[in-house]
Chain A
Amino acid sequence: MIIDWFTVIAQVVNFLILVWLLKRFLYRPILQAIDEREQRIAAELADANASKLAAQSERDEFMRKNEAFDQARADMTAKAMEEAQNERQQFVNVARQESEQLREQWQQALRNEHQNLSAEITRRTQEEVFAIARKALTDMAGVTLEARMVELFVQRLHGLEGAERMHLVASFKAAPAQVLVRTTYALTPQQRSAIEDAVKFVFGVEQPMQFELAPDIVSGIELVTSGQKLAWSIADYLGTLEKGVGELLSAQPVAGPDVVSGQAA
């Protein structure tokens, strides 16, 4: 007998048991694993897609912000450059004005200094000349400068001639007022009387004479009556000297202001 019926029944049972076991241990876990994996992959793909979209939108946002930032930076740079240009122009203008002022001040100071120097030179020259003259006269003639001045003044009075003498005489007679004699230094009584004598002799006037100290006339004697003045003074000599020195100083070139102007430009 090829078919053994007990074996058939046993194999049917065996097969059914095998079906149950494989369903339990093979098909269900494998199919479940496949399904889970497919679901997870699908979920991950969806996540990745969502992330990609989010990244895309963020990138767009970033690009937009970047462009806006670039634009703003360019605007600010242009504005800053314009402001800097304006400020620079202002600074240059201010500096130019200050330099002009400084040059003006410097030139003014130079002029002042020049004037002061001229005045000082004049004063010192007068003093030196006066001192030299006094010394020379003292040493050589044995008389003081004042005595010599009075002498010289008297000589000049006597030496007056012609139209000048007539003019003065007319003036003295027309105005019989006081006759004023102004000197730098106080005169001795002899000197006063010498002057009075000479005046009376030359002009023939009898008016009383008044003597006055006047330090502003440089080492000299003035005879003043109404509207007329006769004087001898070192200032006449000094005037010539001053003129010579003044010409010498004005001949020197003034180079300073050009240098200042060059720096300011």
Chain B
Amino acid sequence: MHLSPDQVVFWQYGVFKLNLTIVTTWVLMLVLVIGAKLVTRRIGLLGKHGVAVTRWQSLLEIVVAAIRQQIIEVGLRQPEKYMGFLGTLFLFVAVASIFTIIPGYEPPTGSLSTTAALAICVLVAVPLYGIRELGLGGYLKDYLQPTFIMLPFNIISELSRTLALAVRLFGNMMSGGMIIGILLTITPFLFPIAMSVLGLLTGMVQAYIFSILATVYIAAATGTHRPLPKSASPQPTA
């Protein structure tokens, strides 16, 4: 038994290697992209005949609309700008956990390397979005709030929450697979099925938590929690 799918290496040349995590990720990417392409390729054709929509398109519309609604509810005013990043985070983690119903499948999110990669992406994306919205100065000023003394703590907070993101997702996904593996040796057949169902639930919850936290971080960085600047009112002079 291995702790991480990273340990299953199919091919290696120096530091370059092809392990189970990367291969599974590719498969998931293919499924997502091809599925999306298949569903959306006939949208234009159907659109001309009125409001006829296929079932798969309706499903995807529900998912996409729900993601957009979530982003709006967190407080980002232009959800389309963050849709690609945040939506993909959710869909990747969710699909990776849904596929656990396939026997022998190990989710790539069960590898700390993958969750760390996602957390690093969030770590990088948050200041990028913040700078794009507020400018470099405006973004960096946030680290001095409420006083400059808080600067190191803010930096520590930034790093620690990234670490927390990575470890939380890894721990949940890895533990689900580990528990099933262990239980299979003790009580085969029935109990692992219940655990698989539970694993599906925790996987979806983790996908939601991961993406919603990333959304909250971005919303905080882009300053959407602040009130909109008002026109300066004339001050009384002494």
Contacts and interface: CB of A to CB of B under 8 A. Distances in A.
A117 interface: no
A30 interface: yes
A10 B17 CA distance: 10
A36 B117 CA distance: 36
Contacts of A11: 21-22, 25, 108, 113-114, 117-118
Nearest to B111: A7
B60 interface: yes
A22 B88 contact: yes
Nearest to A32: B43
Contacts of A5: 113
Contact of A18 (B57, B92, B112, B113): B92
Contacts of A237: none
Interface in B3-52: 3-4, 6, 15-17, 19, 21-22, 25-26, 29, 32-33, 36-37, 40, 43, 47, 51
A32 B61 CA distance: 11
B80 interface: yes
Main secondary structure of the interface of B (DSSP, over half): helix
A256 interface: no
Given A15-B92, A22-B91, A30 B61 contact: yes
Contacts of B121: 12, 15-16
B88 A8 contact: no
Instruction: Please classify how large the interface on chain A is, using the bins under 10, 10 to 19, 20 to 34, 35 or more.
Output: 20 to 34
B145 to A, nearest CB: 30
B112 A26 contact: no
B117 A12 contact: yes
A27 interface: yes
A14 B29 contact: yes
A2 interface: yes
Which of B36, B120, B121 has the most chain A CB atoms closer than 10 A to its own CB?
A: B36
B57 A7 contact: no
A23 B84 contact: yes
Nearest to A30: B64
B138 interface: no
Which of B33, B37, B68, B80 has the most chain A CB atoms closer than 10 A to its own CB?
A: B33
Interface of B: 3-4, 6, 15-17, 19, 21-22, 25-26, 29, 32-33, 36-37, 40, 43, 47, 51, 53, 57, 60-61, 64-65, 68, 80, 83-85, 87-88, 91-92, 108, 111-114, 116-118, 120-121
